[in-house]
A and B are shown apart, each in its own frame.
Chain A
Amino acid sequence: MLKSWKSVEPYLLVTPQTLVFLLFLVFPIATIFIVSFWEFTGYSMTPGFTLENYRNIFTSQVSLATYLNTFKFVGLVWFFTLIIGFPVAYFLAFYIDSLRWQIILFLVCTIPFWTSNIIRMISWIPFLGREGLLNKLLMGIGLTSQPIDIFLFSDFAVVLAMVHLYTLFMIVPIFNSLMRIDRNLIAAAEDTGASGFQVFKEVILPLSQPGIAIGSIFVVTLTMGEFVTVRLMSGGQAASVGYLIRNQIGSLQYPLAAANAIILLIVTLAIIFGILRTIDIRKEL
């Protein structure tokens, strides 16, 4: 009896979590998939099977432009979070000797993660607005005579805010990978005559690849479906797939929103699987 209990025990323990994801992740996404083939009659949806929603998306210039704009955001945010996140993680992992300081500085980097994204976006207004510090500075040093409107409510502001929000999703996994690098490897490379740059290029960079991959997955996922930052920082002027979906729901076009959501999901998963081919995440825990 004890033996059979032992074999059932893990299943019982993981049941609540599995139920949550089956009910509130798998089932809803399956529903989206089904609804994406339903018909939309102008004010309500009716069950059926039509490819019209997808045809609409693939033939519309507007949705094409929206998808391209989303990719632009994803690409830019990914690039900046990486080139900012990597040096920060590298500095923490290799240049801070005392464990105490390492923990403190790591916490300094991660604390914003536990505060509100909306507030962190709002906090750019005093800098980027028409009367903001950036405009005052530029006018002060004579670079421009008129305040520039495009700092706030622009693609620039959207990318800036996303980089601000998501860089720590890059820092933490890269830091984790860097900390796992056996310091003897570096010593060995140095003993055999490798220069500092060679050590970095031949040892540190390849071994930090899993961290970069996981960070990239986070950043890509977070940015792909974004609509809050896009809405808030562009003043509703920039386009992204997430925002498009949000607007279609606002006008009750559920089947169309569902079709867009399915395409968004497929594109996101394709990118993620591309990244995942390079690593085994289970080893990283």
Chain B
Amino acid sequence: MGLKKRSPTFYILAAFFALFVLFMYGPMFAIFTLSLQGQNGALTFPVRSFGFYWIKSLFLQQQRIGDFGAAFQRSLLLGLIVMALTVLIGLMAGLGFRRRFTGSRIIFYLTISSLIVPSVLVSLGIGIAFSLLGIETNWYSSGLAGHLTWTLPFAFLIMIGVFNRFNLSYEEAARDLGASEWQAFKEIILPLIAPSLIGVALFGFTLSYDEFTRTSLISGGRNTLPLEIFGMTTNVTTPALYALGTVTTAFSFCIIGIAFAAFQFFSHRQQQ
């Protein structure tokens, strides 16, 4: 692996990489900074004063910045439902795909196609289909459906990748020793793939929590959090907008942190 180590190319690429990281995170830190201002804060630099005025206003003065609390609760609940369904359905599909079966190619491409269909079509299609069938759209029905079309392909790809590298000899050994199908699954397969399932859960929750396009036409009367924030971009001209960004991003980071901790825990247990 020691390819041209510490050559000039290394430093050029390292500098490029550093610039890229700055490009990815710079703007985010800018709004973190600007959200931590006093009452006289504005949308642009310089920071006029330091304080938690805008963060507090998010929680105290709901009427000024839309219904942040209710939208957050909806998104949280929806994210958890999508996460649970994504893990369950994705795991089942992954198990099914361990053997080639007639029609597996079609189902494979059907799943992948959900990733490559422009999101606006999913939203529009579900919207029109629901309205023609006379079913009311809602974040927990049509919205949930739209989210699953987005999270399941990722779950599926992760599961296929996991089972492609999966060593069958463990569970065969278990079966040879008299374990039932269910026991082999519960005692052997599940612990081995637990870290990957955490990954699937992370995808399921965060992709749902942040989803916009596939939800936008089919969330019904009540907005999910990203839709609510999008609405605010047009009428909120104070750092409250950034405060919202800071709080939701901090929440995302917490989720990512929890997922990594769980991932570490399960991989560690696996090695023992």
Contacts and interface: CB of A to CB of B under 8 A. Distances in A.
Interface string A139-179: 00000000000000000000000001001000000000000
Interface in A74-111: 84, 87-88, 90-92, 94-95, 97, 105, 108-109, 111
B27 A11 contact: no
B245 A123 contact: yes
A31 B252 contact: no
A112 B10 CA distance: 25
B95 interface: yes
Contact of B212 (A94, A105, A118, A282): A118
A237 to B, nearest CB: 14
Interface stretch (A12-20, A51-59, A61-69, A205-213): A12-20
Given A94-B3, A119-B249, A221-B115, A32 B121 contact: yes
21 contacts: A7-B101, A10-B98, A14-B96, A17-B93, A21-B152, A25-B114, A26-B110, A32-B121, A32-B128, A91-B13, A94-B3, A108-B24, A114-B202, A115-B206, A116-B209, A116-B226, A118-B233, A126-B30, A232-B230, A242-B213, A249-B124
Interface string A197-225: 00000000000000000000110011011
A88 B16 contact: yes
Interface stretch (B55-63, B141-149, B167-175, B189-197): B141-149
A265 B145 CA distance: 20
Interface string B129-169: 10010000000000001101100100011001100100000
B157 A84 contact: no
Contact of B24 (A23, A25, A92, A112): A112
Contacts of A285: 157, 160-161, 164
B254 to A, nearest CB: 11
Nearest to A8: B101
A119 B242 CA distance: 8
A46 to B, nearest CB: 12
B36 interface: no
Contacts of B233: 118, 122, 232
A85 to B, nearest CB: 9
A105 B21 CA distance: 9
A84 to B, nearest CB: 6
Given A11-B96, A119-B248, A20 B132 contact: no
Given A17-B90, A261-B124, A227 B148 contact: no
Given A90-B13, A123-B30, A227-B120, 18 more contacts: A9-B96, A10-B101, A12-B96, A17-B111, A21-B111, A28-B124, A28-B126, A112-B24, A114-B255, A116-B229, A125-B31, A126-B31, A126-B34, A127-B30, A164-B23, A232-B233, A245-B120, A249-B217
B177 interface: no
A242 B117 CA distance: 12
Contacts of B152: 17, 20-21
A222 B255 CA distance: 25
Interface string A261-277: 10011001100100000
A88 B12 CA distance: 11
Contacts of B242: 122
A51 B45 CA distance: 53
A17 B94 CA distance: 10
Contacts, number: 265
B17 interface: yes
B73 interface: no
Nearest to A265: B121
A24 B28 contact: no
Nearest to A227: B120
Interface size class of A (residues with CB under 8 A): 35 or more
A239 interface: no
B68 to A, nearest CB: 13
Contact of A13 (B93, B213, B226, B244): B93
A121 B52 CA distance: 23
A157 B13 CA distance: 26
A261 B256 contact: no
Nearest to B153: A21
Interface in A223-244: 224-228, 232, 242
Contacts of B145: 20, 23-24
B24 to A, nearest CB: 5
Interface in B38-61: 42-45
B265 to A, nearest CB: 16
B25 interface: yes
A99 to B, nearest CB: 10
B17 A196 contact: no
Contacts of B253: 111, 115
B107 A164 contact: no
Given A126-B45, A129-B44, A232-B230, A25 B149 contact: yes
Given A132-B44, A258-B124, A87 B13 contact: yes
A80 B230 CA distance: 26
A120 interface: yes
